A and B are shown apart, each in its own frame.
Chain A
Amino acid sequence: MKTGAPVAEGQQATPTAEPAKTNGRTRFVQRLWVVREIGIAAALGLLVLVTAIDSPGFLSAPSIRDVLLGASILVILAVGQTVVIVSRNIDLSVGSVLGLVAFATGKLFLAAPGTPIVLAILAGIGLGAVCGAINGALVATARVPALVITLGMLYVYRGVDHLWAKGQQINAADMPAGFLSMGTSTLLGVPVLAFIALAVVLVAGMYLHSYRSGRELYAIGSEPNAARLSGIPVGRRVFGAFVVCGGMAGLAGALYAARFGTIDATVGTGLELEVVAAAVVGGVAIFGGSGSVYGAALGALLLTTIGTSLAVLRIDPFWQQAVVGGLILAAIGLDRLLALRVANRLKGRSSHGA
């Protein structure tokens, strides 16, 4: 067809119209992928709108600040999780890592009250990265699915946390005021934590989109065998993804300590499922290869907003979980629908006439 060779006339119904149609279809396909993120944003907007109509106070500055504050930690975790999920892996231990790091941060300030805040946060990231490195090393060497390994590590890290804490609780009084205020203070009316989360999203988004190793993670998730044949160091990349995810969980743990000030060994229990839910709702394919941190961040924001707005709308909190569940199913359904439509649009398109 495009070659203009006579063979072209074979199966293609309208060879002459092909080039124009090709472009049209491609734009349509690209639009679909953008739409995926716009869809979540639209759902978010709709939710805010409905809630705001019911109770205009929902759009007040303090209320918005609360939502952003609440979403920040989940956003950071979702970003780390996305890096792992696009490579066709999963990290279920992030809740435990967050708990462990939060406790360790408190312990650090107890032991050395003068520790600079930045240093404490870096230490948190470091400890998280070490946990991630253990996950990554196990996943990359043992040929066992990440689901199983990180499920095991979920309990291991939580156990270490409990062993270390021995029932101890760290209180706000044990930590420097500057550190605690970082957890709740605002800059230009926006929480500092939200800025940190935004920076994390932008940096991770750029990395995954514009760096070779970032693209290789998508390649691994999309087709692991082809990745190996293309000479991509699959083990090393997957390891790296887990280190990043662990580091993000560590950052989230330190920020958690700053925000809540009260830490015991149960902090972050069950959080991992919320994180995975945020990523999935945000359009990150659970079998890897597609999705973005922007989508995951929007997903985290959406889940947090649902929690708040259902309360504002005076809906039974029991419904909240059902709504989240429905959202996950809707997101998966939408992805499947989009995939089918893309497949249909692309079907029969060929550079090849006969």
Chain B
Amino acid sequence: MASDATPLLEVRDVTKSFGAVAAVRGVSFGLFGGEAHALVGENGAGKSTIVKMLAGVHQPDTGAIVIDGTAVSLGGPAEAQAAGIAVIYQEPTLFPDLSVAENIFMGRQPRGRFGRIDHAAMKTATERLFDRLGVRIDPDRPARGLSIADQQLVEIAKALSTDARILVMDEPTAALSGVEVERLFAVARTLCAQGAAVLFISHRFDEVFSLCQRVTVMRDGAWVSTDPVADLTVDTLVRYMVGRDVSALFPKEDVEPGDVVLEVDGLSRHGVFERVGFSVRHGEIVALAGLVGAGRSEVVRAVFGIDRYDEGEVRVNGERLSNGSPRAAMAAGLALVPEDRRQQGLVMELSIERNATLTRLGKLTRLGVLTGRGERSAAGDWADRLRVKYGRLSDAVSTLSGGNQQKVVLAKWLATAPTVLIVDEPTRGIDVGTKAEVHRLLSGLAAQGVAIVMVSSELPEVLGMADRVLVMHEGRITAELGRDAATEEAVMLAATGQEAAA
């Protein structure tokens, strides 16, 4: 890995913006043949955007992707594949109706006479790939119904089948067991030994240190450092990743917690989460931390009644909440601000005022007819309180920036005057300034006695805001940390399941 050698692939000063938000700003690093290179950073640091550029899904606004010393333009996934890049996405991208073997070889099926697909050869090749990975998945079964781990393994097999020179893995191990991770690493090391380059994205530091030779750190879309693993410790890595004073950014007012409002007891949804229990008091902010896919969103969705749970119960002020009824949850004073505001939180084509008042149309109607004036004044009131930046209240929500959209979602739920507010990734994809405003808002609500459950993948946010941190790992709560005990390391360890093993 001498620096004078030509890298197999080089990311050269790339920038990519989505609307007003710069996802990646001037990032450069190189991947050498035979090298496993880690890309780390907090959620939202821009890693996945880099991955999508390498995959040909996004094109850099400025800068270039350079392969073998030549700048290439990856206009689409097919071109990236042709350039020898294989990508394992964070979220599996399978075809549920097709067989596992077809999923792996789609577009590259082995062909026999007259160009017909040789189904038998495809099955054999699939079995060989699974042997290499040491897993047993029936090649003929449909991909529908595979567990997340198995889906991930199919994705890995797919990437291996392309014999790519550059293998990009975006958190491939999040759902895998220790044995499977070791197998994957053995395969990755073999590929490296054959001269391929591996870009490895992971939140698990032990994996980074055991697999990779070099580490690039990104923060807020910008490049921070690229160093050999040998020169780094977990501490320095975390400092590079966080790179700011945690407590200053996320002020949480101290509130004397009141009575318990929300109690969740032994909640299970088979295969998703198991025996989850916690309680939240008035004025308290409880954070659900953990890695993507740990089951946090699923838990809060079940609590709110969007998904049904199989076992356990949810109580609000001691009253049992009926299973699977968001209407009952709302009546009991619960509000849920969902993770994906575009799909679940807003009607993008409707106006700001319409969106903001959707949750309480009943109160704004006179004789069953919605009055435009009532709607407008209610919406305007909230827009001002949350400092939403908008042109006119009648503009479609889709014209707002991400942060302001999030405020509209908040307004919509705050207008119902909830006693328990559940927010799922409240600041995902919004800029730092607006983030602080959202935090100020949540903190203020807690001071007024609202009980808040916050699902967040951003460690600084969790540590700064929460009175208590519940850490989830693979569907279970693995740690409950008080404000003083909650440190980066403690949360990270529990989130990666390390502590449970100890």
Contact = CB atoms under 8 A, between A and B. Distances in A.
B271 A347 contact: yes
A2 B135 contact: yes
Interface residues on B, range: 35 or more
Contacts of B117: 209-212, 215
A223 B179 contact: no
In which size bucket is the chain A interface? 35 or more
A212 B153 CA distance: 23
Interface stretch (A51-59, A141-149, A227-235, A242-250): A227-235
Interface stretch (B73-81, B358-366, B399-407): B73-81
Nearest to A1: B136
A296 to B, nearest CB: 16
A234 B68 CA distance: 30
A14 interface: no
B57 A229 contact: yes
B97 interface: yes
B116 A210 contact: yes
A231 B107 contact: yes
Contacts of B340: none
Contacts of A222: 95-98
A261 B390 CA distance: 66
A334 interface: no
Contact of A233 (B78, B94, B134): B78
B32 interface: no
A349 interface: yes
Contacts of A228: 77
B236 interface: no
A223 B106 CA distance: 12
Given A2-B135, A29-B142, A229 B93 contact: yes
Nearest to B183: A3
Interface in B94-138: 94-98, 102, 106-107, 109, 111, 115-117, 119, 134-138
Contact of B106 (A30, A219, A233): A219
Interface in A185-225: 206, 209-212, 215-216, 218-219, 221-223, 225
Contacts, number: 130
Looking at chain B's contact residues, the main secondary structure is: loop
A350 B96 CA distance: 15
Given A233-B78, A343-B145, A212 B95 contact: no
Nearest to B119: A210
Contacts of B142: 29, 342, 346
Nearest to B80: A231
A5 B177 contact: yes
B171 interface: no
Interface string B41-62: 0000000000000011100000
B89 interface: yes
A351 B136 contact: yes
Contact of B96 (A19, A232, A233, A289): A289
B178 interface: yes
A156 interface: no
A22 B136 contact: yes
B95 A218 contact: yes
A226 interface: yes
A353 interface: yes
A222 B140 CA distance: 16
Nearest to B56: A231
Contacts of B270: 348
A197 B147 CA distance: 42
Contacts of B179: 3, 5, 7
Contacts of A231: 56, 76-81, 107
Interface of B: 55-57, 76-81, 89, 93-98, 102, 106-107, 109, 111, 115-117, 119, 134-138, 140-142, 144-147, 149-150, 153, 175-180, 270-271, 474
Interface of A: 1-3, 5, 7, 19, 22-23, 26, 29-30, 206, 209-212, 215-216, 218-219, 221-223, 225-233, 285, 289-290, 342-343, 346-354
Given A212-B107, A232-B106, A346-B142, 10 more contacts: A1-B136, A19-B136, A218-B97, A221-B97, A230-B106, A232-B107, A346-B145, A352-B147, A352-B180, A353-B177
26 contacts: A3-B134, A3-B136, A5-B177, A206-B116, A211-B115, A212-B115, A215-B98, A215-B106, A222-B96, A222-B98, A225-B93, A227-B95, A229-B55, A230-B77, A231-B56, A231-B78, A289-B97, A342-B144, A346-B144, A346-B145, A349-B145, A349-B147, A351-B137, A351-B150, A352-B176, A353-B177
